[in-house]
Amino acid sequence: MTKKIKVAIIGSGNIGTDLMMKLVNKGKLLELVAVVGIDPESEGLAKARALGLESIDKGIDGLVASKHYPDIGIVFDATSAYAHKHHNDILQRDGKRVIDLTPAAIGPLTIPPVNGRDNLDAQNVNMVTCGGQATIPMVAAVSRVARVPYAEIVASVSSRSAGPGTRANIDEFTRTTARGVEVVGGALRGKAIIILNPAEPPMMMRDTIFTLSDDVEYSVIEDSVKRMVADVQTYVPGYRLKQEVQFERFGSNRPVHIPGYGDFTGVKTSIFLEVEGAGDYLPPYAGNLDIMTAAAHGTAELIAARLLGAH
């Protein structure tokens, strides 16, 4: 039997429960042994009990007291940015590797197809945000073929797929995503906007990415974008372009003024995405949560391989 790394999830909400189902059904080098929450009646903890997992309703203190805790190598935190800071202090003290699904951004920002293998030795790895996981690959696709002075992303998600944790993290979402657009995506300046759409029936995640880049051939950018889409589809099959990439060229006769940068000349690229979830636990329209949990799961598998000496 293949040796596995024991893992736990803190957070029994939508993200934690979807991640739980991925680990149970698709885990290769990871063995989920405990799910942690604070509400004993939560659906996530009930599902964990039904699956024969240790269900802990006393938060981080309950996890530390668990019989499994000494053997756990990786802990996923799917709570809130505020709570994660406290959790991380305890987990780092005890030598646990941490994968942070909140916007706390204590550890290095990680987007699997862009820098997924760069941070495997970090004690805490941050998965940015759902909007970041969807849009930063597109910014990176442009920045790897042209300098990008400015990039702006708009992530639109169904309000049904935004639970209490997501709503509590809106400010952190915008700051962390914008930082990820710059640090990981390669833009000199980034901006992020999130929209919670109450439409019925619920809409799938939609993302719009605008970049202003140096003047290169449209085909060079388009090819890079489509290659990056294919890379993301290896772990999120429902990730796709909603329409063809659009371009507009700005010459010296009509530059765009960017506050803090000055007059811009070059190419504006507009990318429109749709993200359909795999339906492991949540409905397919919740692609915003699916891309987050898929990215965290994939990153954890790489870390487990490193810990087991496979890579």
Q: Which residue has the tokens 């765009």?
A: 256
Q: Is the predicted pLDDT of residue 306 greater than 60, yes or no?
A: yes
User: Would you say how long the chain is, in residues?
Assistant: 311
pLDDT of residue 164: 77
Taking CA atoms, 211 is separated from 144, 195, 251, in Å, by 12, 19, 16
Q: Is the predicted pLDDT of residue 163 greater than 80, yes or no?
A: no
Give the residue-averaged pLDDT of 200-224. 97
- The tokens for 201 are 């029936």
- 134, 185 Cβ separation under 8 angstroms: no
Q: Is the predicted pLDDT of residue 10 greater than 70, yes or no?
A: yes
Reduce the DSSP state of residue 279 to 3 states and report it: coil
Taking CA atoms, 285 is separated from 262, 273, 282, in Å, by 40, 13, 8
Peptide bond into 255 cis (omega under 30): no
Reported confidence tier of residue 162, pLDDT bands at 50, 70, 90: confident
Give the residue-averaged pLDDT of 268-292. 96
pLDDT of residue 135: 98
Burial of 38 (0-12, 13-18, 19+ CB in 10 A): middle
Burial of 132 (0-12, 13-18, 19+ CB in 10 A): buried
Q: Is the predicted pLDDT of residue 1 greater than 60, yes or no?
A: no
**Can you give the pTM of this predicted structure?**
0.95
What percentage of the chain has pLDDT greater than the value 90? 92
User: What is the DSSP code (8-state) at residue 61?
Assistant: H
Instruction: Provide the annotated active-site residues.
Output: 130
pLDDT of residue 168: 80
Q: Which residues pair with 155 in a beta bridge?
A: 194, 207
User: What is the DSSP code (8-state) at residue 159?
Assistant: G
- Structural domains in the chain, CATH included, are 5-128+290-307 (3.40.50.720), 130-285 (3.30.360.10)
Residue whose C-alpha is closest to residue 187's, from 228, 139, 227: 139
Reported confidence tier of residue 310, pLDDT bands at 50, 70, 90: low
pLDDT of residue 273: 98
CA distance 33 to 30: 9
pLDDT of residue 267: 98
pLDDT in tens, 72-130: 999 999 999 999 999 999 999 999 999 999 999 999 999 999 999 999 999 999 999 99
Cβ count near 24 (within 10 Å): 18
For residue 82, give the amino acid letter: Y
